Chains A and B, each alone.
Chain A
Amino acid sequence: MILKALFAASATAALLLALPANAAELTIGFSQIGSESGWRAAETSVSKQEATKRKVNLKIADAQQKQENQIKAIRSFIAQNVDAIFLAPVVSTGWDSVLKEAKEAKIPVVLLDRDIDPSGKELYLTAVTSDSVHEGEVAGDWLAKTVGGKACNIVELQGTVGASVAANRKKGFDTAIAKHANLKVVRSQTGDFTRAKGKEVMESFIKAEGGGKSICAVYAHNDDMMVGAIQAMKEAGLKPGKEVLTVSIDAVPDIFKAMVAGEANATVELTPNMAGPALDAIAAFKDKGTVPPKWIQTDSKLYTATDDPQKIYDSKKGLGY
């Protein structure tokens, strides 16, 4: 009885609250990790843009890299009875109980950018993530196509040892070039995803490979390391982008600046637009009841110097990278 009354009351309240706004307008709570990287900041600003485009009221809670803050944010979204919850999980475990609460409140949850522990598959609607193995493959395929039949010694700047992204981007690239006997990774070392280490490691590659004359291409697991590597090559008197091919991953604004200068060749985008596909999935789910697949893979788009890098730089530089 009491429950029923409560339910009726809250339904009326929800109705009253919803009335002044557009009837179709959705309110979505987004528990964002925090400002751990430039890409993360770009993801937040693109999410806002995509929500505005679709006239969705997006409430973003910044968790400052702490899981307990994310759990608090999700509970508060449940209390506010939002239409859906987006979650960019800071870690992969420990979400079961809070996601069960969301499920009991019949609020669909969409994971952005990162997946959670497989035990919780039924607890979320879908996950929108990039396939980092595929990113490495796209990079490898581009290099194989560009090099053609001639022999090519590749040096690789790996991400942080132990990071799954680094392992996956290595695996994808290795798979792609394994099909071509003329492509060979001659040196591979970690640059910790940073510019400074990327530069230092590239300096040592150049010395170890006889002044760098035998290096035909550089593959870096992210653009920041490549920016450092480009500096190292220039200081050693090499011409990156011309004598030495470069391909990296992420598509941050500064790599497009290097492309404009003719010092970088290609980058594979890790799109900051995870919210767009998620919003579409939620809209379809709410309107027609279409249940999306458990995994929505984002595009790993390849950009090269022929794609008007100046224009892309201008469009990306305001996003907070």
Chain B
Amino acid sequence: MTALLPRRGLAQILALIVILAVDRVVSPQFFDLRLQDGRLFGSLIDVLNRGTPVALLSLGMVLVIATRGIDLSVGAVMAISGAIAASLADSHSLTVVLAAALGAGLICGLWNGFLVAVLGMQPIVATLILMVAGRGIAQLITEGRIVTFSSPDLVWLGNGSILGLPVPVAIALGMLILTGTVVRASALGLLIEATGGNARASELAGVGTRAMILAVYVWCGVCAGLAGVIAAADIMGADANNAGLWLELDAILAVVIGGTSLFGGRFSLVLAVLGALIIQTMNTGILLSGYPPEFNLLVKAVVVLAVLLLQSPKLSGVAGVVTRLRRTKA
């Protein structure tokens, strides 16, 4: 098995191809694409477009997890930034709206980072606080209603298109390139991995681990803020009760499917985004299949299990033994 999958990422690409093939079977028009009002239209575009929020969340989450942390508050942060964006949309310019919404995400990230890096709280507990309180804050902003807006600028952010591609997809791609460049073109990525690998040793070696941890939570907050704005722009309204609900779990899953260990250390941005796409390809396939909705969660669980088994080192060990046994028999 390990010989079959020599390079990192092959398991994920294989999983994606298999799921795409299954989607093609349950829905023959899956790969059909056409232009509709100047934008591409088809199930593949749906996968990219609907996968955007989780892909954005996973970009921040993968860095946090690389430092051996976790951020449970991203769903709630989405609700906060979406609520802020929707409340300001009709009275302010897009710049102000974006600055306020992303600023809120940044502050949320700073709060989480402060609790973890400065006060030394365990990440799961520290971010649980904002996970619970954040949705309440969002509900306070919207007063429990769905705040709708009609500002064409913000609506464009959710439903417009650039060169035929939905704007959210273009934004996610831009964020991937930006994050990748910042992290990998400098030593930053290495320092983050060092922090997650062994914080104490890194500290002694001169790595500013506190600054690293603070920085990844802040970036995670900003990514969540952006995802929240896009989710609100998509439905032209902020739904504080439901925006980003349980998406923190999908984001963590995307990172794990992308092969990044929850124990920190080595990470891959591209594979985390690929993980998000795997999840969404499966979700879209389930919706297209026409099976009763009672099966949704079950199918999802089985597919996730299969994808993770594909990556399990123990299982590839077993597979190796089996092949060796077969060879000796022959």
Contacts and interface: CB of A to CB of B under 8 A. Distances in A.
A201 interface: yes
Interface stretch (B95-103, B144-152, B174-182, B312-320): B144-152
A320 interface: yes
A35 interface: yes
A162 B292 CA distance: 13
B146 A224 contact: yes
A161 B144 CA distance: 23
A-side binding surface: helix, strand, loop or mixed?
helix
A203 B290 contact: no
Contact of B145 (A36, A38, A208): A38
A223 B263 CA distance: 44
A38 B234 contact: no
A204 B288 contact: yes
B43 interface: yes
Nearest to A257: B148
A189 B235 contact: no
A241 B148 CA distance: 21
Given A231-B236, A235-B159, A192 B242 contact: yes
Nearest to B145: A38
Given A235-B159, A236-B41, A199 B290 contact: no
Contact of A200 (B50, B145, B294): B50
Interface string B120-150: 0000000000000000000100011110100
A73 B183 CA distance: 55
B200 to A, nearest CB: 43
Contacts of A204: 43, 46, 284, 287-288
B89 interface: no
Q: Of A196, A235, A321, which is in contact with the most chain B CB atoms at under 10 Å from its CB?
A: A196
Interface string B282-294: 0010011010111
Interface in A21-49: 35-38, 41
Contacts of B293: 158, 161, 188-190
Contacts of B146: 38, 195, 224, 254
A227 B41 CA distance: 20
A320 B144 contact: yes
Contacts of B50: 200, 203
B27 A188 contact: no
A309 interface: no
Nearest to B241: A37
A207 B143 contact: no
A106 interface: no
Contacts of A36: 241
Interface-centre pick from B36, B37, B231, B288 (highest chain A CB count, 10 A): B288
Contacts of A203: 46, 50
Interface in B269-287: 284, 287
B104 interface: no
Contacts of A37: 144, 241
Contacts of B288: 204, 207-208
A194 interface: yes
Given A38-B145, A207-B42, A237-B37, A200 B242 contact: no
A187 interface: yes
Given A189-B293, A204-B46, A41 B145 contact: yes
A210 to B, nearest CB: 7
A228 interface: yes
Given A158-B293, A320-B145, A201 B239 contact: no
B46 A195 contact: no
Contact of A41 (B29, B144, B287): B144
B322 to A, nearest CB: 39
B264 interface: no
Given A38-B146, A320-B143, A199 B235 contact: yes
B242 A194 contact: yes
A208 B290 contact: yes
Interface in B182-240: 231, 234-237, 239
Contact of B144 (A38, A188, A200, A210): A38
B122 to A, nearest CB: 27
Contacts of A210: 29
A161 B46 contact: no
A183 B139 CA distance: 40
A190 B159 contact: no
B169 interface: no
Given A189-B293, A204-B288, A207-B29, A196 B42 contact: no
Contacts of A190: 293, 296
A305 to B, nearest CB: 20
20 contacts: A41-B143, A41-B145, A161-B296, A188-B293, A189-B287, A189-B293, A190-B296, A194-B239, A196-B231, A199-B235, A200-B46, A200-B287, A201-B287, A207-B43, A210-B29, A224-B146, A224-B239, A231-B159, A231-B236, A254-B148
Q: What 7 A-B pairs have minimum CB-CB distances, sorted nearest first?
A: A204-B287, A190-B293, A195-B235, A194-B242, A35-B144, A207-B43, A208-B288
Interface of B: 27, 29, 32, 36-37, 41-43, 46, 50, 139, 143-146, 148, 159, 231, 234-237, 239, 241-243, 284, 287-288, 290, 292-294, 296
Given A187-B290, A200-B46, A204-B284, 5 more contacts: A37-B241, A158-B293, A195-B237, A235-B37, A236-B36
